[in-house]
Amino acid sequence: MLDSNPNPKQNVSNSALLLFDQAMRMRAIQADIVRAGQELNRLSDFELSELGLNRCDVEAVIAQYI
């Protein structure tokens, strides 16, 4: 019966921990995203179009994660 009425403070702490963990994972891949974007940005416009990308989209992603 005690499990049916969980402690709200414990749930908040678990939620906060999960959100913090997700944020740290996102931050960890931030440098990888920028590096990949910079590598793609070195391609010609034609090569980017063959990949289905626009240079402005690549630059926007790089700016977003810097």
pLDDT in tens, 16-25: 888 888 988 8
What domain range is 47 assigned to? 24-66
Structure confidence at residue 13 as a pLDDT band (50, 70, 90):
confident
Residue 51 predicted with pLDDT over 80: yes
What distance in Å separates the CA atoms of residue 65 and residue 27, rounded to the nearest whole number?
9
Question: Residue 37: inside a domain, yes or no?
Answer: yes
Name residue, tokens 């931030």: 30
What distance in Å separates the CA atoms of residue 38 and residue 42, rounded to the nearest whole number?
7
Question: Residue 60: inside a domain, yes or no?
Answer: yes
> What pLDDT is attached to residue 60?
94
Number of domains in the chain: 1
Question: Residue 56: inside a domain, yes or no?
Answer: yes
Question: Residue 29: inside a domain, yes or no?
Answer: yes
Residue 36 predicted with pLDDT over 60: yes
Question: Residue 33: inside a domain, yes or no?
Answer: yes
Question: Residue 58: inside a domain, yes or no?
Answer: yes
Q: Vertex 57, ends 33 and 45: CA angle to 5°?
A: 105
What distance in Å separates the CA atoms of residue 45 and residue 53, rounded to the nearest whole number?
9
